[in-house]
Structures are given as structure tokens and as C-alpha cells.
């Protein structure tokens, strides 16, 4: 079985500006790093949130991904590349009695992809604030293009043109306080995608050694359900467990289990430990190697559509600066997080390996 190990690291410093009802004013500065699967992604992020009066909060976020190389399934069919993705987002939250409404907009751009997303949500407390019902809707509009190498340098592929992708997301959540120590959360999500849904660079391969660009269905509907239970321990620690299930119209079925533990050390340190297991079946039109062109209508070789399992272990450390004379803000902290992801692909082979027959490369 093919195995891959990926590491993701984040380092951030958080400055809540003042004490507020909901949500708290804050300023976050973050540096993130991802390395694995043939890709390196690094960049900064800035977030600021500010109360306007007692019932309105606004936020703005700026996020950069600097990407080098590409995943193994793209490298085998296209040249390695470097690019930068910039994302801007703004949001507003309004508190009225026991209801919270939020409106958000985000926009991201890279050399061959543009995305805009609008979302709205509402949460309402019931039964003496022991129960919270939330729901939300998001609409995304993406534009996909393709970059090609020419004697004059990299340029947009005019033959490919521009493809559109329309995404919609519906969310429903229920949070219930079961006791002084225990909270239960239930969530349901429905996602519909329409338009150009595959990577414009990725290719499928055939038994005779030839290649062709992937062909995907132009629609996809996905649904996910999860249940989370959090238990607070007497010494300010907490245990969290979550179960989740996923399926879609491409015949992918998946489930996951997450475990988490939070533990305070003295007054100024907080440590979080976490583990996640994920298991997925392949899409109905996925194959690592097709016998010939035209054997089926849709063809994909994206390893994320293959059968695989994933184990993720990670930790976070938070240090409260305000406990040691940091007087610039009411409360501030510095945080570090690290995750190690281990993938086991069961029907995806490393086509970059040479000297072996096609279809016999290591998994």
C-alpha cells in the first residue's frame, strides 16, 4: 500500500483587543507551513475582529498561500510550478436578543483560479439557553483556467478558455448542554457542485503508456453528518470525541473518528492533543490505470478520489502573555500547532518511478 507522510505547522500570536460580549475583539497574526505529497505551502495570515457598539461585530482576514511544486499525480502529467494564492474575507455578525446572524464574503485569486464565496448564517438559543439551533447557506462562484508553457514564457491556454464552477452549501447544527460538564453537538451539511470540477492539469494514463486529460461529471452532490461530545473535567481540562460520515453521488463513502484532549498547565499554558482517523472508498470513475481511451464516459486519477485511509496526530501549545506583564491588551497569547498526517493509498501508484512496467509501480 502507498504511504505518504505530511506535516503541517502553524505559529500565531493572538491579541484580543478588549473584553466584549460576543464575539470578543481580537487581532491574530499567523504563519502556516505545509509540507508533504510533493507540495510545499507557506504563508502568513492576519485577522482582525472589532465590536461596533454592543450588538454588532465586524471582521476582516487576509491570507496568503505560497505554493511550490505540485502533488505527485499532477507532477507526472505536468511541469512542477510555483504560484501564490491571496484570499481576502470580510464578515459581520449581529446579535439580537438570543439570535446571532452573520454575513460573510471571501475572494481568492491565483494565476489560474479565481473564487468568490458569499455566506449567511443564523443561530438561535432555546430552552433557557441550553439548546442552540444554527443554520447557514453559502454560494461560491469559481473561474478555472489553465497555464501552459510557451517560448515566450507561461501564458493562459486560450484553447482551454475559462470554465465556471458553481458551489452551494447548506448547513444545519444543533448544540445541546447535557450537564454542567457535557455538551453534545450534531451537524448536517449538504453540498452541491456544478460545472468544471476537476484539475485542469491532471491526466489519466492508459495501459499502452499514453495519457489524456481527466473527464469528470459536471455535477456532484455530497452530504455529511457528524456528532461531537465534549466533556469538561474538574481541573479545567476537557475531552472531545467526534464521529462523522460522508457520501456523495460519485459513490464515495467515508467516515472519521476524532479524539481530543485539552489540559491547562498552571495559569499560562494550555496544551491540546488530538488524533483523527479517516477512511474513504474510491469514486466510481476512478482508476490508477485505464485499459484504453473511451472505455468509460468519465475518467479520473486524482488520488483524493481513490481508496485510502489517513491517520493524523497533532498538538497545540498556547502561552498566555498577559500573565507576565504584557500590558498592551487585556488578553494576549502566542500559539503553536503541529499536525502529522499519514496517508495509506490502496489503489494509487507512484507513476514517477521508472524502470518498472506500467501499472506495477509501488503504491
Q: How many CB atoms lie within 10 A of CB 339?
A: 17
Q: Are 255 and 246 in contact (CB under 8 A)?
A: yes
Q: How many helices (H) and strands (E) does the chain have?
A: 1, 20
| Rounded Cα–Cα distance for residues 207 and 357 (Å) | 10
CATH 2.40.160, domain 2-6+50-62+71-345, yes or no = yes
What parts of the chain have a pLDDT lower than 50? 14-20
In eight-state DSSP terms, residue 282 is: P
- DSSP-assigned beta bridge partners for residue 113: 110, 144
With a threshold of 0.85, does the pTM exceed it? yes
- The pLDDT value given to residue 81: 65
In the chain, where the domains are located: 2-6+50-62+71-345
- The pLDDT value given to residue 276: 98
The two beta strands, 163-177 and 182-195, are: antiparallel
For residue 304, report the phi and psi dihedrals to the nearest 5 degrees: -75, -10
- The pLDDT value given to residue 19: 32
Amino acid at each position: 500500500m502507498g504511504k505518504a507522510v505530511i506535516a503541517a505547522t502553524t505559529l500565531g500570536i493572538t491579541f484580543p483587543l478588549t473584553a466584549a460580549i460576543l464575539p470578543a475583539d481580537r487581532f491574530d497574526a499567523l504563519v502556516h507551513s505545509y509540507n508533504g505529497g510533493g507540495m510545499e505551502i507557506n504563508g502568513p495570515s492576519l485577522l482582525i475582529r472589532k465590536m461596533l457598539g454592543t450588538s454588532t461585530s465586524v471582521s476582516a482576514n487576509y491570507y496568503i498561500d505560497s505554493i511550490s511544486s505540485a502533488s505527485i499525480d499532477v507532477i507526472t502529467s505536468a511541469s512542477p510550478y510555483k504560484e501564490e494564492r491571496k484570499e481576502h474575507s470580510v464578515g459581520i455578525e449581529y446579535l439580537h436578543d438570543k439570535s446571532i446572524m452573520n454575513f460573510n464574503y471571501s475572494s481568492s485569486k491565483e494565476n489560474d483560479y479565481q473564487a468568490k464565496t458569499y455566506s449567511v448564517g443564523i443561530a438561535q438559543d432555546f430552552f433557557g439557553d441550553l439548546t442552540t439551533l444554527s443554520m447557514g447557506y453559502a454560494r461560491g462562484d469559481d473561474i478555472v483556467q489553465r497555464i501552459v508553457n510557451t517560448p515566450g514564457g507561461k501564458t493562459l491556454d486560450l484553447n482551454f478558455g475559462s470554465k465556471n464552477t458553481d458551489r452551494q452549501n447548506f448547513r444545519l447544527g444543533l448544540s445541546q448542554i447535557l450537564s454542567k460538564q457535557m455538551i453534545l453537538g450534531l451537524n448536517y451539511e449538504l453540498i452541491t457542485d456544478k460545472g468544471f470540477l476537476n484539475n485542469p492539469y491532471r491526466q489519466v494514463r492508459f495501459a499502452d503508456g499514453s495519457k489524456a486529460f481527466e473527464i469528470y461529471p459536471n455535477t456532484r452532490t455530497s452530504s455529511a453528518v457528524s456528532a461531537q461530545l465534549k466533556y469538561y473535567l474538574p481541573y479545567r481540562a476537557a475531552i472531545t470525541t467526534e464521529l462523522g460520515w460522508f457520501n456523495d453521488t460519485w459513490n464515495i463513502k467515508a467516515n472519521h473518528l476524532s479524539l481530543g484532549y485539552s489540559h491547562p498547565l498552571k495559569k499560562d499554558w494550555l496544551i491540546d492533543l488530538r488524533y483523527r482517523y479517516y477512511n474513504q472508498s474510491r469514486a466510481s470513475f476512478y482508476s490508477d490505470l485505464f485499459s484504453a481511451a473511451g472505455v468509460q464516459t468519465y475518467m479520473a486519477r486524482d488520488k483524493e478520489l481513490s481508496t485510502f485511509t489517513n491517520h493524523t496526530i497533532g498538538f497545540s501549545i498556547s502561552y498566555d502573555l498577559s500573565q507576565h506583564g504584557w500590558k498592551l491588551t487585556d488578553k494576549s497569547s502566542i500559539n503553536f500547532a503541529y499536525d502529522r498526517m499519514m496517508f495509506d493509498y490502496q489503489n494509487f501508484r507512484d507513476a514517477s518511478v521508472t524502470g518498472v512496467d506500467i501499472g506495477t509501480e509501488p503504491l
